[in-house]
Amino acid sequence: MTREYEVILRNGLVVDPVNGRHEVADVALADGKVAAVGEVTGQAAAEHDVSGCVVMPGIIDAHVHLSPWLGGAPGHRMLAQAGVTFALEMAGPIDGVTKFATTHGCGLSIACIDYVRPGHTVTSNDPGADELRDTLARARAAGAIGLKILGGHFPLTREASARTMAVAAEQGAYVAFHSGTVHTPQNVGGMRESCELADGNPLHLAHINSYTRGLDGSALAEAEEAIDILGQHPNVWSESYLAPINGNSGKCADGAPESVATQRNLERGGFPPTDAGMVEAIRAGWAQVHVLKDGVHVLTGGEEGLAAWKAAGSDIGISFYANPPEPRMHLATAKRPDGSFAVDALATDGGGIPRNDLCSRGLALVHLDALSLDGFVQKVCVSPARALGLSARKGHLGVGADADVTVVDLERRKAVKSFVHGAPVLMDGEVVGQGCRMLVPPEGADHVRGLGLDVLIAEPGSMLRPRGA
């Protein structure tokens, strides 16, 4: 008998809001696509009984770090373990991201935006439009789909931040902003400024919860203010995350952390923003070092964390317990009057930062009835697919869609299986995927293929369409 399909997932609860499906059904995969959904009578080379589990479109994490600057190579394995099938790397440098994808790929698809960083990809904190066009062209040729403004870490002037978004819009490129400029800190005021500087241009505004930490008052009141600002800017697409920890670089130079965000977090914990302050903060457990254990990063404080930080010459990831719980939960679940989510997506800012918690914490909100299962799929599949210009092929399980599927054990709030373009990546909790596929602009395709990676071609102008368009 001929086998018509490569994979059949039998008797799972298929949750696919785009196609209005929320029922027990079979899902068959063939040639990297969803081939049939419903009562599937044919046979497959691999059949899996997933009764009792949820079968959903592959999870898309729209904010991760997989670069030498932040996150690092282990992020591929950590994302695969978390059931993620597609991830947007939110900083670059692009050459480091492609390098780690070739050496540490675990079968995921990824895209990358490259940072606009003074002294690295631009000459100063006030680059002009022509310099930004050149920066974008170099990033695209190397495989990045756009640019990241790293305001909270390496701020630009207000004017240069605005120019970056204008240039991205002009070129049909993706652009994201971690709020903050040389004039304005990373808080709800900085977030308002980012939205104003976008001036109607498309923008992915990163990790809304990190502007609502209650440093200047009530964290919940700040979350409400953030929701109000987003409501006034339909050109702004946003995500928030659920983890209590943030994620920073621990790298110090000339006696102090390089990143402004790292300095601020030390001060918040009562430590001076210096080398010595970092040592004390790690020892005290306020700063948790991302220590590599069994191929993944684990939060580690005390003497063990300090030894790892020193062994890395300070160039290692660090997290602080910076995020109060109330705004994290509120921003993940709040809706606009029309019923759509106030913050478009749930992401993690994870990858190599150990907080890949879309299932563990996101499904806790489902357990609490704060988010419906369909709402969860909307936030971690449908909305990010749309932002990336991939709605036709990802974020749903219609016949002909990419065979990106995540199978979730709802009771344990854990991904148990995943497939990317039909190939198994996670099998019963074990990472079995290999390689990496990158979403790249047309002009970066040959370069990325030449590195040995598969490519998906992004359509310029298809990304970050405004709400209602």
CB-nearer residue toward Zn ion: 352 or 422: 352
Nearest one of 362, 361, 364, 394 to 462, comparing CA atoms = 394
CB-nearer residue toward Zn ion: 90 or 380: 90
CB-nearer residue toward Zn ion: 34 or 176: 176
User: How many Cβ atoms are within 10 Å of 234's Cβ, its own excluded?
Assistant: 12
Q: Cα 454 vs. chain centroid, distance in angstroms?
A: 20
Give the residue carrying structure tokens 């009771």.
Answer: 411
Q: Which helix (H) or strand (E) holds 307?
A: helix 302-311
Q: Are the CB atoms for 411 and 401 separated by under 8 Å?
A: no
Alpha-helical regions (H) of 199-294? 219-231, 260-268, 275-284
73 to 102, contacts with Zn ion by CB under 5 A?
90
Nearest one of 362, 300, 388, 455 to 83, comparing CA atoms = 362
Say how far apart CA 337 and CA 229 lie, in whole Å: 14
CB-nearer residue toward Zn ion: 7 or 87: 87
- Whose CB is nearest to Zn ion? 349
CB-nearer residue toward Zn ion: 353 or 397: 353
Kindly state whether residue 280 participates in binding Zn ion, applying the rule CB under 5 A. no
* Shortest spacing between CB 208 and Zn ion, in angstroms: 12
State the pairing for strand pair 54-57/5-16: parallel
* Shortest spacing between CB 299 and Zn ion, in angstroms: 16
Say how far apart CA 327 and CA 316 lie, in whole Å: 28
Say how far apart CA 187 and CA 371 lie, in whole Å: 26
Contacts of 302 (CB under 8 A, 6+ apart): 282, 283, 285
Q: Are the CB atoms for 1 and 39 separated by under 8 Å?
A: no
CB-nearer residue toward Zn ion: 57 or 75: 75
* Shortest spacing between CB 318 and Zn ion, in angstroms: 13
Q: Are the CB atoms for 136 and 147 separated by under 8 Å?
A: yes
Backbone φ and ψ for 237, nearest 5 degrees, come out as: -100, 135
CB-nearer residue toward Zn ion: 27 or 90: 90
* Shortest spacing between CB 349 and Zn ion, in angstroms: 4
CB-nearer residue toward Zn ion: 344 or 349: 349
- Could you tell me how many residues of this chain bind Zn ion (CB under 5 A)? 2
CB-nearer residue toward Zn ion: 190 or 433: 190
409 to 468, contacts with Zn ion by CB under 5 A?
none
* Shortest spacing between CB 42 and Zn ion, in angstroms: 43
Contacts of 398 (CB under 8 A, 6+ apart): 16, 18, 19, 34, 37
* Shortest spacing between CB 370 and Zn ion, in angstroms: 24
Residue type, 40: V
CA-derived radius of gyration, the chain? 21
* Shortest spacing between CB 353 and Zn ion, in angstroms: 8
* The Cα angle at residue 224 between residues 82 and 266, in degrees rounded to 5: 65
* The Cα angle at residue 55 between residues 52 and 59, in degrees rounded to 5: 135
CB-nearer residue toward Zn ion: 179 or 378: 179
338 to 367, contacts with Zn ion by CB under 5 A?
349
* Shortest spacing between CB 456 and Zn ion, in angstroms: 22
CB-nearer residue toward Zn ion: 10 or 65: 65
* Shortest spacing between CB 392 and Zn ion, in angstroms: 27
Say how far apart CA 105 and CA 120 lie, in whole Å: 26
Burial class (CB within 10 angstroms; exposed 0-12, middle 13-18, buried 19+) of 19: middle
Say how far apart CA 355 and CA 246 lie, in whole Å: 9
CB-nearer residue toward Zn ion: 90 or 169: 90
* Shortest spacing between CB 241 and Zn ion, in angstroms: 9
* Shortest spacing between CB 65 and Zn ion, in angstroms: 6
Per-residue binding letters, 25-64, with Zn ion (x by CB under 5 A) = ----------------------------------------
* Shortest spacing between CB 91 and Zn ion, in angstroms: 6
Residues binding Zn ion (CB under 5 A): 90, 349
